[in-house]
Amino acid sequence: MLSRRWRPVVLSGLVVVGLWAVALTGYSIAKSRRVTVEGIRAYVLSVDFGRLAGTERANAIRKLAGMLNALSLEERQKAQLEHVSWDWFAQMTEDEKGGFVEATMPTGFKQMLTSFEQMPEDKRRKTIDDALKRLRQSQARLQAAEGEDGQPGTNQPPVISEELQAKIRTIGLKAFYGQSSAQTKAELAPVLEELQRAMERGRPFRGQ
């Protein structure tokens, strides 16, 4: 039998151990449910998207969009640069592609486009060039990381083609985006998000 003096100490210790057990269990559950690029890739590979139809197909697209939106900024960029959803995207109808692009674009990107077009032309060009440079650097880091894992780094395609870059600079980003197909909008997505991040952090306006 415990003495009265030690009983509160033991009970307090048991309570602390219990709280730690609950916290660790909650952390493990949260970690297992956290969306990752690898988890999205596994989901895409596990579903034969071409065989889906009707409500089942729509639900699968909605789930994929939700998973992408749940990623952190860094993981989202990784998913875009590695084109984890493009196997499905290539099989979508034009309406499905349009809806998917709209569902996975960051909140406020249209306002960003408006603000971007109000900047001086030289500032717009520099901001786009800087965004593309950062994306290429991120892409290079991803390829290097794949090589360090014992797997050869895959040669990813350019962030966006030289042709698209030329059109953006000639027509203007907002106008070009407005007249582009869903496919082109999907290709532009990582650039738009990088531009939005840069503008939110005030990068284009430093030095003015």
Same domain? 127 vs 80: no
- Whole-number pLDDT of residue 28: 40
Q: Average of pLDDT values for 35-41?
A: 94
Same domain? 81 vs 139: no
The domain boundary residue, chosen from 60, 79, 104: 104
What share of the chain has pLDDT > 90, as a percent? Answer: 33
Q: For residues 9 and 84, which has the higher predicted lDDT (pLDDT)?
A: 84
- Whole-number pLDDT of residue 46: 95
For the record, the structure tokens of 201 come out as 């952090």
What is the H or E stretch that residue 54 is in? helix 54-69
Asked if residue 12 has pLDDT above 80, the reply is no
Q: Average of pLDDT values for 169-192?
A: 88
- Among positive and negative, which fits the CA dihedral 155, 160, 163, 166? negative
pTM: 0.72
Q: 31 with 75: CB under 8 angstroms?
A: no
Domain interval for residue 97:
36-104
User: How far is residue 152's CA from residue 61's CA, in Å, rounded to a whole number?
Assistant: 31
- Please, which pLDDT band fits residue 102 given cuts at 50, 70 and 90? very high
Q: What are phi and psi of 101, to 5 degrees?
A: -60, -45
DSSP per-residue letters across 22-49: HHHHHHHHHHHH---HHHHHHHHHHS-G
- Whole-number pLDDT of residue 155: 58
The domain boundary residue, chosen from 54, 74, 104: 104
The domain boundary residue, chosen from 87, 104, 121: 104
Same domain? 121 vs 179: yes
Instruction: Report the length, in residues, of the chain.
Output: 208
Asked if residue 199 has pLDDT above 60, the reply is yes
For the record, the structure tokens of 30 come out as 């949260």
Question: pLDDT by residue (tens digit) across 124-150?
Answer: 888 888 989 998 898 888 888 776 655
- Please, which pLDDT band fits residue 122 given cuts at 50, 70 and 90? confident
Closest CA to 61 of 32, 100, 108, 26: 100
